[in-house]
Structure formats: C-alpha cells, structure tokens
Amino acid sequence: MSASPLDPNDPLIGTVLAGKYVVERRIGEGGMGLVYEGLHRDIDRKVAIKVLRNDLSRRPEVVARFRREAKSASRIGHENIVDIYDFGETTRGASYFVMEFLEGEDLANVLGRQLTVASDRAASIVLQCCRALSATHAKGIVHRDIKPENIFLTKRDGVDDFVKIVDFGIAKMSDIETDGAPGRKLTKTGMIFGTPEYMSPEQAAGKELDHRVDVYALGIILYECVAGRVPFEGDTFMGVLTQHLFAELPPVRDLNPNAEVSHELELVIRKALAKDPNDRYQNTEELAEAVRCALEGRLSRATAMTPPAVLAPVSLDYLDPVPRRKTPRWLWASAALCVVAALAWASFAANGGSGADSGPARAVADDRAAAPVVTLEPEPAEVLNDTATPQEPDPVEPDRVFVHVATDPSGAAVVRSDGSFACKKTPCSLEAVPGETLVLRAKLGKRKGRLAITPTTDQTVLIELKAPKKTAVRPRAEPPPKRKRSSTTRSSDLKVPEWAQ
C-alpha cells in the first residue's frame, strides 16, 4: 500500500475500536481499504488496522468473505505470514481486522529503488515465500495474488529480509471491481482476478485454479528480481494476459544482458513459468528444492525430469532483420592478389610462352609480364587501408518472417496447404515468405480449425479449433401395421355377389 500523509479530518483517527485499539494515524491505502497504525492500550503494543472502504463494508457477501478469509489466514500460524489478531466493525459499520505491525518495506519498493536483486538474495526471499505458501496450501488456501507488493521485508532476530506475506483474504474476493493506489500495479478483479503481470495462463483464461498459480507467480518474481523487469508487459490489461497465454518466455539476458543469473537458476525459472500447469513444479516444496539445488550449481530431480521443450530458451533474434554479413578485408586482399597473379600468368603465356625466345627477348617478355603487377597493386592497398571510411551495407529486407502459431485448445498438429507439416504440436513457430499467403490447418482429435494469413513481419496468430457439427439422424419410417385377419370369419364371407348388389 502506498504511504499516505496524516489526514487530521479522518474520522477514525483518535477513536478506540473494540474498547482497546486506539487509532493513531493513517499509514497507507489501497484499492480495498485503508491501513492505520494503532495501539493496543491494554498491553501497550503497536498494531496495524486494516479497514474496508465504506461501500464494500455495506455488501454482506463481501464482509462474510472478508471475515472467512481473515480467519483462514489467522489459522495458518506461520512465521512468514502476517498474524491477524482481531476482527470487528467500526461505529460507522466499516469492517476491519487487526494485524501485527511490520516495520520495513515491501519487495516492490526494493525493486523500484535498485531495479534488480542479487540472485542469492532473491533466492532467499523466494525460499521463505515457498515455506509460507506450503503452509497456506496445506490449509486449502490459494493466495492468487502473489506479487512484490504483497511480500513485506522486515528484520527479525538480526536477520535482514525476513519475509511476511500479506493480503490474504483480499486476494480471494474475486467479485469486486476496484482501482488500485496511484503508482502501483493495479489489482483487477472480476471474472478474471489478479495482477496481470503475475497472473498464470489459467488465471488469464478464467479457468479453474489451484495452488500452482502461486508457483507461477513466484517464478515471475524470480525473473523480475534478476532481469530488472517482468517478462510480459503491455499497455492494456488484456494485452498482458494475451502474452501470458501465448507469448514465449524471453531469456533473461535478452532483456538484461548484464543479468547475473546462473544457467541452473534460469532453468528453474523457465519450469516455474511453464504455460501448462502440469509442466511446472507441482507444489512449492518442489520449487524450493529446485532453487536450493540451483544455488549449489546442480539440477533438482524435478528440474531434470522436465521435457526439453519447456526448458529450451527461445531466441528473440528474429525480431530484427538479419544484417548482411560484411566480407573480411583479408578476403578482399587475397582475391585481388589472385587476380594480379592470373593476369601476370596470362601475359607471360602470350608473350613468352614459346621456347624459341631466349636471352634479351626473354628478359623483355619477363618485364612485360611483370608490368601488370605495378598497375594493379594500388587496388588491394586501398582495400587494406584502415583509415578508409567503411561503407555501411544497404538495408536488407528480411527474406523470412516468423509466425508463432497458437491454438485453442493447444497441442494441435498444424499442416500447410500443400499437406506438409508446419508443426506437430502447438504452440510453435514456423518460417514464412513475406507477402505470400499462408494457409494453415490445425487438428486436435476431432476438432479442426483453419486460418489464412499474408505475413509481412513477425507475428502471433491464434487458430480456434471447433468440434464437428453433429448431423441429425432421420428416424426410420416404420411400415404401416398389417391388418389382422379374423380367426373366425373368412374374407370371402364378407363379399357380396354382383347379382345381389
């Protein structure tokens, strides 16, 4: 939460809640409520008091959810999770809860000031988060909004960077739409809930969630600490979500060439950020073990068992046209000398190749043969002149562009119009000729999809797979029922003779 100056007109300041908590000053605010510093006057202990905004406190379902989640967080009882002491309502009917008072700063402030965090320090912070979230998941609670703003760093027993995870309960209220405090990443709520920069693909798609969304968020935080920025950024909420769903994870050094991250730790990050939850670490215990092993320069069993396609870094070189390769100067000089030698030999063969020539005539011929060397020598000398201004190559239009293909659902095989395989499993990337129409057909089981594009630059496309329509089966026409003959009367007995009519 952002710091807020003391507001002397705040009606809560100076009041006593539940007969024991004196509200002294406001210390922060966010999209959901306000935070105050308070004092438990019976035991003279500092506390923090979080108060829901009045409009949210008037919604019974929100208050019930708030109370339930506050109770859940207090039951976890882990040293790396903020302790919640009490819950109640102000005289104006606003819901609040009382929690431990923390002195320090959150990880977001550290990153805002330093840009990056050393790998060993980032690993220590994430390991503490893993221990806290393991206890949380064991209680059936998923945080769903792990981000640097919710990782508070304090000092305890002489240990710096002691982690306290905050904002349990608030993160679970997915039916509220609010704005965040200025200058902070907004917590968007609704059908899709979370902070977009740290949301897993399944969160972005609005699917059923489990504890592996917290594993993904910790992977993003590790990435941000060593790279200095999150891997996916955008101008809009949906723009960021689309990248989480379809964009390949850029290698850390593509975003920050000076990043100090070991190969083992980057593999841990890549596995934690796998698009498919089944390809990630299946719990925070696995992630913690992988981080510890990476610090020792080795791979954990879970990391080593990961499919290579998940861990393989994707180069971003194709985003810029490949420049024309410059020919080395020594190659130009060698070519020029070869030309000189060839001309000299040709002149010698024309003027002195006959065996009859000898004496002065042969000497004249030798002089004539050597003449071209004198006239052609300045050309390679100019090529080798280091003081000459290098000629910049003409800009080259790319002869290939890359098309990243994703399907919904993923895992489909894609073929070109000529029947050749473009890729065997999406998401994938393929080459195309700029300006030529590319027809792609995707198939996954009985689901099929088709897309025609004319790419001119690198781009990402999505093919929606649809199930075949079921044809209605026409019921069989039943034959008319046969008339039954009477067992006692013959049909001939019912006929009337013509003469009697």
What is the full DSSP assignment across 461-485? Answer: EEEE-BPPPPPPPPPPPPPPPPPPP
Q: Read off the amino acid at residue 1.
A: M
- The CATH homologous superfamily to which domain 401-464 belongs is Carboxypeptidase-like, regulatory domain (2.60.40.1120)
Q: Read off the amino acid at residue 112.
A: G
Hey, what are 225's tokens?
Answer: 């600490």
Residue 345: partners with Cβ closer than 8 Å, 6 or more residues away = 369
The CA distances from residue 221 to 57, 123, 206, in Å, are 32, 10, 22
How do 401-408 and 459-464 pair as beta strands?
parallel
Q: What's the pTM value of the predicted model, to 2 decimals?
A: 0.60
Each residue's pLDDT, cut to its tens digit, for the chain (501 residues) gives 444 445 667 889 999 999 999 999 998 876 677 899 999 999 999 999 999 888 888 888 778 777 776 777 777 889 999 999 898 888 888 889 899 999 999 999 999 999 999 999 999 999 999 999 999 999 888 888 899 999 999 999 888 899 999 887 544 433 333 444 444 444 444 445 678 999 999 988 888 889 999 999 999 999 999 999 999 999 888 899 999 999 999 999 999 999 999 999 999 999 999 999 999 999 999 999 999 999 999 999 999 888 888 887 644 333 333 333 344 555 555 656 665 666 666 565 555 554 444 444 444 344 444 444 444 444 444 444 444 445 555 556 677 888 878 777 778 889 888 778 888 888 788 888 888 888 899 998 888 888 888 888 777 777 888 888 766 566 666 666 665 554 444 444 445 556 555
Task: Classify domain 104-316 at the CATH class level.
Answer: mainly alpha
pLDDT, position 58: 81
Cβ atoms of 344 and 279 within 8 Å: the answer is: no
- From the list 232, 112, 229, 100, the residue with the least C-alpha distance to 166 is 100
Could you give the 3-state DSSP secondary structure of residue 445? coil
d(CA 309, CA 344): 59
b/e per residue, 277-287, with b = 16+ CB within 10 A?
A: bebbbebbebb
Domain ranges (residues) in the chain: 16-100, 104-316, 401-464
Cβ atoms of 165 and 133 within 8 Å: the answer is: yes
What is the full DSSP assignment across 67-133? Answer: HHHHHHHHHH--TTB--EEEEEE-TTS-EEEEEE---EEEHHHHHHHHS---HHHHHHHHHHHHHHH
d(CA 416, CA 466): 18
Cβ atoms of 142 and 211 within 8 Å: the answer is: yes
Domain made up of 16-100: CATH architecture: 2-Layer Sandwich (3.30)
Which residues belong to the active site?
Answer: 145
- From the list 91, 89, 119, the residue with the least C-alpha distance to 11 is 91
Strand partners, 463: 407
pLDDT, position 61: 77
Could you give the 3-state DSSP secondary structure of residue 2? strand
If one counts every other C-beta atom within 10 angstroms of the C-beta of residue 443, the result is: 16
